[in-house]
Structures are given as C-alpha cells and as structure tokens.
Amino acid sequence: MKNPFLSLIEKHIALYQTFRNLDLGEFAGGQAPKTSKNGPKVLIFSPHPDDECITGGLALRLMYEKHVRIINVAVTLGSKKERRGPRLEELTNACKYLGFDLVKPAAEGFDNINLEGKAADPEAWAQQVNIIKDLLLQERPTMICIPHKADWNKTHVGTHHLIMDALAAAGPTFQCLVVETEYWGALKNPNVMLELSVSDMTELVAATSLHKGEIARNPYHIFLPAWMMDNVRRGGELVCGQGEEPPDITFAMLCQVTKWTGVEIVDVIEEGMYFSAVDDLQGLLNLYF
C-alpha cells in the first residue's frame, strides 16, 4: 500500500518551489480603516525592517476590528550600512501596504542595539533610551509590542532591554500593556493565543514579501503560514491548557501580555486567553484599564 502521506509531503515541496520562484511585483494593500489620533494606539518596536510584518498579526487585527492606530517604530535599519537605504524603502512600502504608520527614532536607525553595545558605550545607550522614552511620553500608547528577552537574535534581545529601560525612564505616570512577541526564540510561557484568518495571513505574507532584498537570500515569507500553523499545536497546550483539545483553527499567533504600571511589570492574565477570528478583542484592550 502506498503511503498516503507521500502526497502531503510532495504538495508541500511543490508549493514551496512555486512560491519561492514567484516574480514579485508591487501590489496595493487593502483599504485600511480610519483611526483616531486621540484613540487607542499600539507601538510596534521592530528590531529590524520586516519584524512589523512577521509579528504584526495582533496589531493588524486591532487596526481592522477596533480601529486602533498602529505605529511601527524602526529601532534599526539593519547592520549593513549599504542596505539601510533599500531596507528603509522596503519598510516604507510594507507599512503603507498594511496601513501602519512609520516612525524612525534615528535617521538611519540606532546602532549597536545589543547587550554588548549597552556595556561598551553606556552613554550612547542612555541617549537612545532617552529618545524612546520621549516617544513613549509623546504617543502615550495603550499597548506596545516588543521582542521577548530570550528571542535569541542579539538585536531582538537588545531591543527588549532598550524598551524596558525606556519604560523605567518614562516615570511613574506612564502605563501601558506590554505584548512580548517571538520569532527567533519561542516564548516559554505565552498567555495569549490569537487566531489569524486567511485574510490576515494573506496580508502578512504579502507585506513580508515586500522586503525583497531580504527574502531574496532567504524566502522566509513562504514559511510564515507554516509557523502560524505550528502555533496552533503549541498554543493549544501552552495557552489553552495541557492536555486540552486545541481549537479547530489553522493559523495562530502566540504572545505574552503583561502591564507596565509605571514602576514594574505585573501579570494581568490569570489563565491563558484565546481569541478566535470572530472574538471581540476589546477584552484584551480592557486589560489596560
């Protein structure tokens, strides 16, 4: 008897080869909803151009479903100086496609955003912390999205520490929800599982593909759906409960949500929270109040 799963594996390979060789052109994004400058806003602190797409599922849903304004903060434009101009252009196109605003805290992005840089040049680090602190106080976001502290890549880890230092510098009156995201290293204890619809995934993959220089060397946009599928397996146990039946969905994003009180990080979720594609995300925003 022929192994019935051979066809599954062959189709995976065929799909990968087809879309890896796809000739990508510019294409228009969806009509982003109108958002209020005085309403809730989310700041995504992206270690590199493309992280706004890779970890942007929650932000995308909040924008479309709750009309939350999304601002992507380009912490760096990458380590290769000759690529910073093209990467900024790609980033601008991706943010425009998704409907995210874009802020650059430095013209060519920050340098040495890692723990080695913090130790070697504390004065430069303090200046960068101060810039982020001023941005937080200016925008007063309801929520910020940052990499978690063990996200392996040294710039991701550095971005986590940079933002945490900026929160501490912002003073006791500044509060916000803190969403820790994952990419290079998996979260050990995610407490939110968020279903992403076919439309959500299509937008995120398309936006990621606009980072053409990066996907030319590594077509990671093609693997994004597979990662979100595996999150259903992980989240079904890590968030919904060990041994529980996972939700019957295809794609999901995992994250860890806490709150910065102005003094410290505190837990605001006693048990894991799962949001299907049709669940109201107001329950998540309400954790701020």
Domain assignment of residue 2, yes or no = no
- Distances in whole angstroms, Cα of residue 101 to Cα of each of 67, 74, 134, 214, 289: 13, 11, 18, 21, 25
Structure confidence at residue 30 (pLDDT): 66
Cα distance between residue 139 and residue 162, in whole Å: 17
Structure confidence at residue 33 (pLDDT): 83
φ/ψ of residue 41, rounded to 5: -140, 155
Domain assignment of residue 15, yes or no = no
Question: Could you tell me the pTM of the whole model?
Answer: 0.96
Structure confidence at residue 25 (pLDDT): 66
Instruction: Show the domain range for 266.
Output: 34-288
Query: What's 50's domain CATH number?
Result: 3.40.50.10320
Structure confidence at residue 28 (pLDDT): 66
Cα distance between residue 69 and residue 112, in whole Å: 29
Domain assignment of residue 23, yes or no = no
The b/e string for 208-233 (b: 16+ C-beta within 10 A; e otherwise) is bbbbeebbeeebbbbebbeebeebbe
CB proximity list for 188: less than 8 A, separation 6 or greater: 150
* Domains identified in the chain, total number: 1
What are the mean pLDDT values of the chain's consecutive 10-residue runs (289 residues total)? Answer: 90 91 70 80 98 98 97 96 96 96 96 98 98 98 98 98 98 98 97 98 96 93 96 96 93 98 97 97 94
Domain assignment of residue 272, yes or no = yes
Cα distance between residue 40 and residue 98, in whole Å: 18
CB proximity list for 40: less than 8 A, separation 6 or greater: 62, 66, 68, 69, 141, 142, 143, 285
CB proximity list for 65: less than 8 A, separation 6 or greater: 280, 281
